[in-house]
Amino acid sequence: MRNNALYFPYISIPENSWTIKSLLYWDKLSSIVPMDHIDRPEQLSGFMRALLERDLVEQVFPSNYLYEIPEFESSFIRYLQPKVRRYRENPIRTFSLSGRVHQEKLVPRANLHVEKLGHLPDFLIQEGLARRIDGAWFEMDTRVANMFMAYLAICLGGVKDVNAAPITSEFKYSNFLGHFRRENPRFNHQRKANDVIINGLLPIPNEPIDLDKLAQFKTDHGHLLPALRRKVENESAQIALLNDPNDRVEATAGFIEDCKYEKEQIIDAMKPSWSKISFGSIAPLFGSGLAMIATDTGNKAAYTGAGLSFVATAYQALNSIRAERKRASALPLAYLAHLNRLNA
């Protein structure tokens, strides 16, 4: 599994307990931010700026990495093309309320920065799914915008220098990551086991958060959580292999009991900083398909075995990184490069 996480779909990470749990669980938490925000930090929320100032969150600038994925735009366009006509011709959503049929106009209302879109704007504008509204910003069909942000997070997370599992604070986006897919019940069992285990093991501060204390806690005791995270992920995968639901329940409860020592370690480490701690729900932090997404991009079966066509699209894009390297290594001048390494 990956040790870092990449938040989506928004630029600024929300100020709530979900973020605190995320900061405690992952080695590093990042967010996707346009490059022009460097010179205009006021575009970020005050909470986001406070996180950045304390090195609790890092910014990932798409333009620094998208060039490494040759098929980034083309893979997404291939996935989107069969859906374009339906999206364009069905801007009306019909629903029933109190026995009467109502219609609601779906107006494009999601704004995305051009840095995140690569060369996609031309295609989206041509197909009537987006329009330029202000310089580098585009307004587009919300369905497409949400889909794209999930795709972007998966692709950026798969780049070697980012190497982060995409996570989201909103459950509606977790479906893009493969959560609750009927095609892969074992995968869902693993997520459920993970939810229950972490809910029973990971304490969180139950009082207003002092970000300075949180940053100091991660500096002093952050080494305790990665080991626990790996242990939980491995055990959850083993529990998912059990066919009987009662066996899965018993195995989960038994593992939580076996981890009593680790739990007490974390509680003791937290006490100097927070007088009140609690154990609460962590969904959708762990209910969003992280195991599937965190898998090595070379493992094609992990991306396609569950019928996750959307995630398979991201796999195809990421696989183009390796393909490009193979082509580069076959060029005539590559021989000289290999020779130079030999003589170094």
The first and second tokens of residue 93, run together, are 């959503």
Nearest by Cα to 10 from 28, 1, 20, 37? 37
- Among 178-182, 255-259, 277-281, 309-313, the range with the most confident prediction by mean pLDDT is 255-259
CB 62 within 8 A of CB 28: no
Reported pTM: 0.78
The answer to which of 17-26, 50-59, 239-248, 295-304 has the lowest mean pLDDT is 295-304
Nearest by Cα to 234 from 259, 209, 206, 271? 259
Which phi and psi angles does 118 have, rounded to 5°? Answer: 60, -130
Which is it for strands 57-60 and 28-32: parallel, antiparallel or unpaired? parallel
pLDDT digits (tens, 9 = 90+) for 62-121: 889 988 888 888 888 888 888 888 777 665 555 455 555 555 555 445 777 777 777 788
Distance of alpha carbon 154 from alpha carbon 315, whole angstroms: 9
CB 278 within 8 A of CB 206: yes
pLDDT digits (tens, 9 = 90+) for 191-240: 778 778 877 777 778 778 889 988 998 888 888 777 778 888 888 888 88
